[in-house]
Amino acid sequence: MATSGSQKSESPSQLIDARIKELGDWRGTMLSRLRTLVKEADPDVVEEWKWRGVPVWSHDGMICTGETYRNVVKMTFAKGAALKDPSGLFNSSLDGNTRRAIDFHEGEKIDEEALKTLVRAAVTLNTSKA
């Protein structure tokens, strides 16, 4: 994959900042809030930029991605099928053997504590296998 000169010099965090700004609508606001919650849940999280522009959060392996589409911001947990989800946040990609996702729509309220608990559980799963 070819990378432009400007992307080579920008950190993943800077690229995520630029994506949030570029969106300029509710999706940018939602992605920004989700990013903040991931960082609050795991202050040691590593931000990455993969697959031609997908924010990825990792800690001893991938935790989740933050994908933006026209009508949804999707947070896909790489090992979501192995995580307990007592709050029922997962609402997408439920048929897979490994991953699970949460689709956030415009105007939707985030259950912030439940999401942070899910992020922490993903980190625990990753670190237990590291």
pLDDT of residue 78: 96
pLDDT per residue as tens digits for the range 4-17: 444 568 899 999 99
pLDDT tens digit sequence for 52-108: 899 999 999 999 999 999 999 999 999 999 999 999 999 999 988 899 999 999 999
Q: pTM to 2 decimals?
A: 0.90
Residue 130 confidence (pLDDT): 58
Give the Cα separation of 118 and 60 in Å (integer): 16
> Comparing C-alpha atoms, which of 15, 66, 78 is closest to residue 39?
66
Q: Would you put residue 104 in left (φ > 0), alpha (ψ -120 to 50) or beta?
A: beta
**The domain 11-124: what is its CATH number?**
3.90.1150.200
Annotated domain spans of the chain? 11-124
- Cβ atoms 37, 115 nearer than 8 A: yes
